[in-house]
Amino acid sequence: MFDIGFSELIVIGIVALLVIGPERLPKVARTLGHLLGRAQRYVSDVKSDINREIQLDELKKLQTQVTDSARELETSVRKEYETARSSIETPVQAAVGELEAVSQVTSSVPSAADVPAKPAA
């Protein structure tokens, strides 16, 4: 970001020594160091917060994708279930109908006990 060389740092140090003075220069340097440390921590915290938000957004997108996939799977399974159920139910209902018809026919036919015997000639 800043391209400051060693010679430029020496010039800044000499000017600071002349302007601030030798007695207050260590305090100012310490204070400046603390302020720079706080600024670096603040920038680091902001970066980590941004990264967390990005990861949270990615997780939310992933969650919606998984939810959509689960819904699609559920829909396809329900369709297959209904298709299989109807393909099995139709022949079974037809067979049950035939059994009912046969039972009605057999119940309407008199049994051998109900038929009177013919007298022998």
> What does the pLDDT look like over 55-90, one tens digit per residue?
999 999 999 999 999 999 999 999 999 998 888 888
Please check whether residue 120 lies inside any domain of the structure.
no
Please check whether residue 2 lies inside any domain of the structure.
no
DSSP the chain: -----HHHHHHHHHHHHHHH-TTTHHHHHHHHHHHHHHHHHHHHHHHHHHHHHHHHHHHHHHHHHHHHHHHHHHHHHHHHHHHHHHHHHHHHHHHHHHHHHHHHHHHHSPPTTTSPPPPP-
Please check whether residue 17 lies inside any domain of the structure.
yes
Q: What is the reported pLDDT for 98?
A: 79
Q: Which domain holds residue 35?
A: 7-97
Spans of the chain below 70 pLDDT: 1-2, 105, 108-121
Please check whether residue 18 lies inside any domain of the structure.
yes
Please check whether residue 24 lies inside any domain of the structure.
yes
Please check whether residue 28 lies inside any domain of the structure.
yes
Q: What is the reported pLDDT for 97?
A: 79
Number of domains in the chain: 1
Q: What is the reported pLDDT for 109?
A: 58
Confidence (pTM): 0.49
